[in-house]
Amino acid sequence: MLTRTPDRTLTEQLAERFAERIRARLLPAGARLPSVRECARQQGVSPYTVVAAYDKLLAQGLVEARRQRGFFVRDFVQKQAPMPEGQALTAPTKGAKNVLPLTGVGVRLSGSHINATALIRGMFHQASSKPQPGAGVLPIGWLDEARFMGAAVRKITGSSALRDGSLSYGEPMGEPALREALARRMADINIHAQPDQIMTTVGATQALDIVSRTLLKAGDPVMVEEPGWSVEFARLDALGMRVLPVPRGPEGPDLAVMARYCELHAPKLFVSVSVLHNPTGYSLSPGSAHQVLQLAQQHNFHVVEDDTYGHIAADHATRLTALDGLRRTIYVSGFAKILAPNWRVGYLAAPPDLVERLLDTKLLSTLTTPSLLEKALALCIEQGQLRRHADRMRLRLAQARARSVQLALEAGCSFAAEPAGMFGWVETGVDTDMLAQRMLDEGYLIAPGALFHATRRPCTLMRINFCTTQDPAFWRTWKRVVQSG
């Protein structure tokens, strides 16, 4: 609730609260603000205060008033892209952007959609000091256990390390010692790659971007699992690709949908999180993996396997790259989920005939990657510190998951997928877009289900981070907000 102070009126406080969320894109373009009456009830102020606050937002150009509909975050409409000659457009899902249905042509459509960067901005723009259920990384307190990283950096930055070239540009492919260590690590999960097939990147996100920029051009169709990582949908859309959402189930992607896409659209790429899928926690079955690779061979597309959560998964989990042997697959991973995210160390492994093309793209974007951090990480891998740390994190995560699941069930939620890994896919029974804004008032950033779909749609699901939802206070607040309507 807002509280009157001598130096700031309730109107100013309310306007600033909305303005801050709009600028941080926690309220996306096109989002409807609560009605005057509803906002007054939620915030415990008079309708006059709400009207005055909305007027301030209008004057700042942050919202627009639509006659008899209410106030909306301003949306800067993009022009519709031209349709290919001779093809007709089928009715799209409302709010879709660059999304192909099973039939018809993908085009860029005007209209609002949930901005996927909201969740990323939430990592930097904390709603409060409380644990954040929508977070995508381990809590800082957990990462304190990786203090061995600091010791490794200090050792690498010793005088001898500096003399051997650590202050100059590193190897374009990445630090040789790290690539050798990664090749041995990948062999432990039955992926056999030579160091000259491995390239380091600025996090796994850049690895995905390098692959897209190398293998695709604007307008190319790309299959992506849905629900899926919201940033991947937004990233491909920003590059002008046409997204083909593939429903993801417990065993893997919907193979019938994939086959139909292949017949209609000849996609160039399929992006998959095989192990501990985000947000569901599903892991690919061997049978589904074989059929995906058969489709790739038959229809001549590449598969990008994002194994970001591989460090907290079992080594024996089914991975497409292990079955394929880096022929049609490109393997992507990183260390943000297990070590300090701001180190931004990721990597990819690719078929030999693609390596030089991928390297050209990396050179044009970042030249090289930070060799000092890569040397330090190589040392941690070689000395077994990373493996021991991962073992501790898996155990701690299992304990957190058990507590969070119990609390969620006691609060009246259910799970749309069997809880596994870092994230839970929770059925709430209410519109989680609306719930997200209400929970922000309470100091909690949640991840509404609509963020994990290619097109905006009402959704009653939300993704929770098991590490940050062990606090009963969050679930008590959640229950109170839901019950208050």
Q: How far apart are CA 157 and CA 150, in angstroms?
A: 11
- Decide if 207 contacts 334 (C-beta within 8 A): yes
Whether residue 387 is predicted with pLDDT greater than 70 in this model: the reply is yes
Q: How far apart are CA 58 and CA 299, in angstroms?
A: 52
Q: Is the pLDDT of residue 87 over 70?
A: no
Task: Give residue-wise pLDDT tens across range 417-426.
Answer: 999 999 999 9
Instruction: Indicate whether this model's pTM tops 0.75.
Output: yes
Does 50 score more than 60 pLDDT?
Answer: yes
In tens, the pLDDT along 222-236 reads: 999 999 988 899 899
Mean pLDDT value across residues 384-411:
94
Q: Is the dihedral of CA 351, 355, 361, 367 positive or negative?
A: positive
Q: With cut-offs at 50, 70 and 90, classify the pLDDT of residue 31.
A: confident
Of 309, 117, 305, 284, the closest CA to residue 211 belongs to 305
Task: Report how far apart, in Å, the C-alpha atoms of 447 and of each of 15, 121, 336, 414, 424 are.
Answer: 24, 12, 19, 16, 11
Percent of the chain residues past pLDDT 70, beyond the cut? 86
* Phi, psi dihedral angles at 143 (to 5 degrees): -70, -15
Residues 6+ apart with CB under 8 A from 50: 14, 36, 39, 40, 43
Residues 334, 206 contacting (CB under 8 angstroms): no
pLDDT tens-digit readout, 190-217: 999 999 999 999 999 999 999 999 999 9
Choose between 117 and 446: higher pLDDT: 446
Highest-pLDDT range among 135-144, 317-326, 384-393: 317-326
Residue 336 DSSP class: T
Q: How many CB atoms lie within 10 A of CB 151?
A: 13
Check residues 397 and 136 and name the one with the higher pLDDT. 397
Q: What share of residues in the chain are helix, strand, coil (percent, to 5)?
A: 45, 15, 40
Label residue 187 by pLDDT band (50, 70, 90): very high
Residue 111 scores a pLDDT above 70: no
Peptide bond connecting 172 to the previous residue in cis, omega within 30 degrees of 0: no
Element at 287 (helix H, strand E): helix 286-299
- Where are the strands (E) in 394-481, listed by range? 414-415, 423-427, 447-448, 461-465
How high is the mean pLDDT of the chain?
A: 85
Which amino acid type is present at position 188? D
pLDDT of residue 117: 57
* Whether the Cβ atoms of residue 207 and residue 350 lie closer than 8 Å to each other: no
Measure the CA angle with vertex 419, ends 418 and 420; round to 5°. Answer: 110
When mean pLDDT is compared over 83-92, 153-162, 318-327, the highest value belongs to 318-327
